Amino acid sequence: MKPSLVRGLMLVALFALPAAPAFADTTGDSAPLKRCCGGDTGPYKDFGEKAGIERLMRDFMEGLLADPRTRPFFEGQNKERIILQLTDQLCYALDGPCEYTGRPMRATHQGMGISRTEFNALVEVLQTSMNKAGIPFRSQNKMLAVFAPMERDIVTR
């Protein structure tokens, strides 16, 4: 092996090592939820404001329970609580007049063993619900862009 390559690998190892505990951190807080639209409430209105978001989340929950890829994670859970928390979360993310007070994403999903496959399935179910509710595609994507980075906190295998 060339000396320069060895030096390079050592350098990579040096940077990688301090970063490793961050991945194993089970209590570390996830990034705070952002808001989509810099005060523009157009997308929030497209979602039908808070009442529309809650209707959407009820349909979403039905979809999650119907899809074999996502059902195991929601069956037997307190669905009403999840629906209300998700409603607040979406309302906040869409620049609506809501506060999100739920637990941090990483702490909540740690140990659930959620795969990328199952996470994508959840996104598909949500997209289907949003289409059913007639929410414009552009506004759907503005909301999804806020939640997309959470994949790192939720998918653990």
Partner 1 sequence: MSNRIQFQTKVYVAALMLASSAAWSASPLPSGDKLLLTGGVSQVEGAAGGGLTPWAVIGGYGTRDQIGGNAFYTRVEADDYALDSYGVLVGLYDRVEISVARQSFNTENVGALLGLGQDFKFKQDIYGVKVKLVGDVVYDQDSWLPQVSIGLQHKRNDQGAVVRAVGAKDDKGTDYYVSATKLFLAQSTLVNATVRATKANQIGILGFGGDKDDSYKAQFEGSVAYLLSRNLAIGAEYRMKPDNLGIAKEDDWKDVFIAWAPTKNVSLTAAYVDLGNIVIRDDQKAFYISAQIGF
Kindly tell me which of 56 and 121 has the beta carbon lying closer to partner 1.
Answer: 121
- How big is the chain by its Cα radius of gyration, in Å? 19
Kindly tell me which of 81 and 138 has the beta carbon lying closer to partner 1.
Answer: 138
The answer to whether the beta carbons of residues 108 and 156 sit under 8 Å apart is: no
Kindly tell me which of 83 and 108 has the beta carbon lying closer to partner 1.
Answer: 108
Sign of CA pseudo-dihedral 120, 125, 128, 130: negative
Ranges within 6-45 binding partner 1 (CB under 8 A): 31, 34, 36
What is the DSSP secondary structure assignment for residue 36, as one 8-state letter? S
State the alpha helices, DSSP H only, in 67-115: 71-74, 79-93, 105-109
The least CB distance from residue 3 to partner 1, in Å, is 24
CB-side exposure of 73: number of CA atoms within 13 Å?
A: 21
* # chain residues binding partner 1, by CB under 8 A: 25
Kindly tell me which of 30 and 87 has the beta carbon lying closer to partner 1.
Answer: 30
Binding mask 46-75 for partner 1 (x = CB under 8 A): -----------------------x------
Binding mask 88-107 for partner 1 (x = CB under 8 A): --------------------
**Which DSSP string do the residues of 110-154 spell out, in sequence order?**
TTS---HHHHHHHHHHHHHHHHHTT--HHHHHHHHHHHGGGHHHH
The least CB distance from residue 142 to partner 1, in Å, is 5
Ranges within 114-153 binding partner 1 (CB under 8 A): 115-118, 120-121, 123-124, 127, 131, 137-138, 141-142, 144-146, 148-149, 151-152
